Structure 1
Amino acid sequence: MDAQLLAFVAVAAGMVALPGADFTVVVRNALASRRAGLATALGVVGGLVVHTALAAAGLAAVLVTVPVLFRSLQLLGGTYVLYLGISGLCAMRRRARRATAGAGTEAEDEAEDRTQPGLGRALRQGFLTNALNPKAPVLFLSLLPQFVPDGEPPLPRTVLLASVVVLLGLLWFPAVALLVDRLGRWLRRPRTTRAIEGGSGTALTALGLVLVTGPLLR
C-alpha cells in the first residue's frame, strides 16, 4: 500500500466518522431497534456509493458547476434533514407529555408507533440523508483528485479511492448502530431517550436550517 493511499485512508476515516446528519440518524434509529439502526447504516452507505460513483464518473463536476442544480439539491437535502429534525423534536415532546401524565392516550400511542421506523423506512432515511447532502459532491471532487499520483490513469485510482470510502462507511455506521444497541438498556431509559431525541432533533433541525437558508456553496 503506497503512502498516498495510506494518507487517503486516514483522511477518509476522519471524514466518515465526523458526527453529522448521517451519524445522528443512525443513532436515533438504533435506539428504536438494532435492525432499524443497521438498516439506516446500510442506507447511509448506499448514499456514499452514489456520491463516490458520481465523483468517479465526473458527473459530480456538472452538479457543482451548475448553480441551479446545486442549489436545488441544497434546498431538497436541507428540507429533508429539517423534516427529520422536527420529527425528532415532536417525538421528544410526546414522550415528555406521556411521562408527565403517566400514561398515553390511544391516539398518542398510535402516533408514537408511527415514529418507530420499519426496516424499509429506516433504510430510506439513511440513504436520503446522505444522498441529498449537497456538500458531498464538493467534498469528493476536491478530495479524490489530490490522491491520484501524477502520470497514473485517474479512473482506476479514483474507483479505488471511492471503494475505500464506501468500505469505511460499511465498517463505521453499522458499528455505531451496534454500539448504540449494546448500550440500549441505559440509552433507552425514558429520560435518556428524551435527551437523545431532543439533542438529535435539535442538531438535525439546525443542519437543515443551515442548508436551506445558507448561501450557495461553491
Structure 2
Amino acid sequence: MDAQLTAFLGVAAAMVALPGADFTVVVRNALASRSAGVATALGVAGGLLVHTALAVAGLAAVLVAVPVLFRTVQLLGGAYVLYLGISALRSARHRKGPTNGTGTTTDHPDGMASAEAAVGTRRALRQGFLTNALNPKAPVLFLSLLPQFVPAGAAPLPRTVLLAAIVVLLALIWFPAVALLVDRLGRWLRRPRTARAIEGGSGAALTVLGAVLVTGTLLH
C-alpha cells in the first residue's frame, strides 16, 4: 500500500466517523429497532455512493459551476434535515412510557413510543439515503479531496474509483457498527426517559443544523 493511499485511509475514516446529520439519524432510528438502524446506515452508504459516483464522473464539477443548481440542492438538503429534526422533537415531546394501571407512566426499559415503532425498514433506508444524498457539501468535498490522492503519472479514473470505493466501504463498516452498538445498549437507551432525552437531543441537533443550512442558503 503506497503512502498516499495510507494517508487517504486516515482522512476518509475521520471524514466518515465525524458526527453529523448521518450519525444522528442512524442513532435515532437504531433506537427504534436494529433493522431500522442498519437500514438507515445502508441508506447513508448509498448516498455516499451517489456522491462518489458523481465525483468520479466529474458531474460534481457541474454542481459547483452552476450556483443556482448548487443552492437549490443545498436548500433541499437543509429543508430535509430540518424536517427530520422537527419530526424528532415532536416524537420526543409525545413519547410516553407504558402506564402502570393508574394512568401514570412507568420507566420500564421496554417501553417504546408508537412513533418509534413505526420506523419501518424502507422508511429508515430512505431517510438515511436522503440525509446523505441531499448534502450539497459532499460532492464538493469529494471533488476537491479525491484528486489530491492521485499520484502524478497515474491513470486518474482507476485511482479515483478505488478511492471512492474505500469511502463507501468505510461507511458500510462504520454506520452499521454504530447502529448495532446502539441496539446492543438498547435496554438502557430505550428506557422512556433516556430515549426521550436522546431523541430530543438529536432532534435539536438536526433542527439547528437544518436551520443553519437553509438560512445560509437564503442569505447568500
- TM superposition score normalised by structure 1: 0.91
In the alignment, the residues of structure 1 paired with residue 18 and residue 30 of structure 2 have an alpha-carbon distance, to the nearest angstrom, of 18
User: What's 1:196 paired with?
Assistant: 198
Q: Equivalent residue for 1:95?
A: 95
| Residue equivalent to 2:109 | none
User: Where do 1:10-159 residues align within 5 Å?
Assistant: 10-95=10-95, 102=104, 112-113=114-115, 116-159=118-161
Contact 1:39 1:122 in 2 (8 A): yes
Gaps of 5+ in 2: 106-112
Note the C-alpha offset of 1:95.
Answer: 1.4
Aligned to 2:185: 183
> Segments of 4+ in structure 1 off by > 4 A?
96-99, 215-218
Query: Which residue of structure 2 lines up, in the alignment, with residue 107 of structure 1?
Result: none
What is the identity, as a one-letter code, of the residue corresponding to 2:126?
R
Q: CA deviation at 1:112?
A: 3.0
Q: Please state how far the C-alpha of 1:65 moved relative to its aligned partner.
A: 1.1
For residue 153 of structure 1, report the CA deviation from its aligned partner.
1.2
- State the distance in 2 between where 1:31 and 1:204 align: 16
Q: Deviations over 1:154-174 (max 9, x none)?
A: 111000000000000000000
Identify if the C-alpha distance between structure 1 residues 216 and 148 changes in structure 2 by more than 3 Å, giving closer, same or farther: farther
How far the C-alpha of 1:98 sits from its partner, in A, is: 8.2
Q: 1:14 to 1:143 in 2, by over 3 A?
A: same
Given that 2:92 and 2:196 are in contact with CA atoms closer than 8 Å, whether structure 1 keeps it comes out as yes
Distance 1:89 1:58 in 2: 38
How far apart, CA to CA, are the structure 1 residues paired with 2:83 and 2:26? 16
Per the alignment, in what secondary structure is the counterpart of residue 149 of structure 1? coil
Shift of 1:53: 0.4
Aligned counterparts of 2:217 and 2:184: Cα–Cα separation in 1 = 40
Q: Deviations over 1:133-178 (max 9, x none)?
A: 0110111011101000111111110000000000000000000000
Kindly provide the amino acid, as one letter, of the partner of residue 145 in structure 2. L
d(CA) in 2 for partners of 1:166, 1:113: 30
Supply the RMSD in Å over aligned alpha carbons: 2.0
**How many angstroms apart in 2 are the aligned matches of 1:192 and 1:66?**
45
Q: Is the 8 A contact 2:83 2:207 kept in 1?
A: yes
* TM-score computed with the length of structure 2 as normaliser: 0.91
- Structure 1 residue 116, shift from structure 2 partner: 2.7
Q: Helix, strand or coil: the match of 2:95? A: helix
| % identical equivalent positions | 78
Aligned equivalent of 1:108: none
Q: 1:21–1:204: 8 Å Cα contact kept in structure 2?
A: yes
* Number of equivalenced pairs: 210
Name the CA distance, whole Å, in 2 between partners of 1:177 and 1:171. 10
Asked whether the 8 Å contact 1:5–1:147 carries over to 2, the reply is yes
How far 1:43 sits from its partner (Å)? 0.3
**CA distance in 1 between partners of 2:192 and 2:179 (Å):** 19
One-letter amino acid of the structure 1 residue matched with residue 165 of structure 2:
S
CA contact (8 A) 1:91 1:112 kept: no
SS for the counterpart of 1:191 is: helix
Aligned-pair distance for 1:41? 0.3
Aligned AA (2:125): L
Find the aligned partners of 1:97 and 1:184 in 2 and give their Cα distance.
15
